[in-house]
Amino acid sequence: MCLAVPMEIKTINSELNVADVEIGGVKRQVRLDIIDQAPLVGDYVIVHAGFALRRLDREDALETIKLFQEGFGLELN
């Protein structure tokens, strides 16, 4: 089973085509090579295996995070 996680973009390094993302205090650096639309700082993206896959509407991202919290008993704020 694979799990993709919505994460908020904190910084973007266009030269390296990477972004720093965060959810619940967990920070990662992800590649932007295969994303569907170029994201901006503050956008939410679906992240899987070190790659941002697609940009998410903020409301959809927050709803998904809420479902993770309820379903898995996680604290992600």
Domains of the chain: 5-72 (2.30.30.140)
Nearest Cα to 51, choosing from 14, 11, 10, 7?
7
Average pLDDT over residues 52-70: 90
pLDDT digits over 10-31, tens only? 999 999 999 999 998 889 999 9
What is the tens place of the pLDDT at every residue in 34-48? 998 899 999 999 999
Q: Which residue has the higher pLDDT, 77 or 3?
A: 3
Side-chain-facing half-sphere of 67: CA atoms under 13 Å: 8
Q: Average pLDDT in the 62-72 region? A: 83
